[in-house]
Amino acid sequence: MSVFEAELKNGRFVISECPRCQKVIWPPSEFCTHCFGNTVWRTVNEPGTLVEYSSKDGKMFCMVEFENSIRVMGSLHDNKSPAVGQKIKISSCGFDKYPQFAFSPA
Ligand SMILES: [Zn+2]
């Protein structure tokens, strides 16, 4: 299991960043895709921004962008009138074959 997956299981959304290039490496990797150096893990900066949303069978799903580069999908809660551009926080996360996210308005 990668650091990324293990941290998600602990309820922390961490991303990898190259200290030399000062770039976020996404998808998460232990190595920088530019200089091949080791990356460091840190928690993502919140809130994110709502990019897209849809509903199916009474449940809402959305895509949220963090730090202008990282996009993740998840379920959307406590949001009666979602709007693209809305600030969104992570209410919970986990890992079960795929990253799992639950979002709510920030
Ligand atoms: Zn690098």
CA distance linking residue 10 with residue 58, whole number of Å: 28
Tell me the CA–centroid distance for residue 102 and ligand 1, in Å: 31
Minimal CA–CA distance to 47: which of 70, 80, 24, 16? 70
Tell me the CA–centroid distance for residue 17 and ligand 1, in Å: 8
pLDDT one digit per residue (tens) for the chain, 106 residues: 799 999 999 999 999 999 999 999 999 999 999 999 999 999 999 999 999 999 999 999 999 999 999 999 999 999 989 999 999 999 999 999 999 999 999 9
Tell me the CA–centroid distance for residue 91 and ligand 1, in Å: 31
Other beta carbons within 10 angstroms of residue 45's beta carbon come to 11
